[in-house]
Amino acid sequence: MRVIILGIDPGLANTGWGVIESAGSSRCCVAYGCITTSAEEPLPERLACVHREVQAVIARYRPAACAVESVYFGANAKSAFATGQARGVALLALADAGLELGEYSPVQIKSTVVGTGTADKSQVAYMVRVLLALPHDPAPDHAADALAAAICHAHQCGGSGARARMAAAVAAAETGR
């Protein structure tokens, strides 16, 4: 069964997106890109742009599932907060479309795609190129990270989302929902 998966690497300045097709253990790249907003624009306009563009990607490629990189709360809280806001409007677009969602940490994505959670951006881009048989590393790195998130979701869920749905059902049962 072929499944279209959208990966998102959220950010206020740059939100990477990548669409793959997964069939069993086979993966191929459908499209990728980056949504860019200017720091000179007011915050609400930047967030609206991210939301609108994610909706446009969903409408064009009609994914069955989506993988989103979780926010890394490192030393820069201001950057993490801005990323969280962009991530929130992307999640809203996904919810509006009724898409299945997989959320993965940067370490999970790197471990799945490269084999180590400490891989750098060039290693991720290289492995995305190899795994998707692309003629060159995807650029910018935000798009490569988004494709990596989609690959991670395909690997974790076998492309169908069955594991994610099972995990959600188990979690709901454990919390009494």
Task: Exactly one of 21, 141, 142, 153 is catalytic; name it.
Answer: 142
Dist CA 55 CA 156 (whole Å):
25
In order of start, what are the domains of the chain with their CATH numbers? 2-175 (3.30.420.10)
Whether 69 sits among the annotated catalytic residues: the reply is yes
* Residue 100 annotated to the active site: no
CA-closest candidate to residue 125, choices 146, 101, 107: 146
Phi, psi of 65 (to 5 degrees): -150, 165
Quote the Cα angle for 50-137-7, to 5°.
Answer: 35
CA pair distance 171, 177, nearest whole angstrom: 9
**Amino acid at site 82:** A
174 among known catalytic residues: no
Residue 27 DSSP SS3: strand
Please pick, among 9, 53, 141, 145, the residue that the annotation labels catalytic: 9
pLDDT digits (tens, 9 = 90+) for 50-108: 999 999 999 999 999 999 999 876 657 777 888 899 999 999 999 999 998 999 999 99
Is pTM, for the whole model, over 0.95?
Answer: no
Per residue in 141-175, pLDDT tens? 999 999 999 999 999 987 444 444 434 433 444 45
Catalytic residue among 21, 53, 69, 141: 69
Which contacts qualify for 37-45: CB closer than 8 Å, 24 or more apart?
37/12, 37/13, 39/13, 43/85
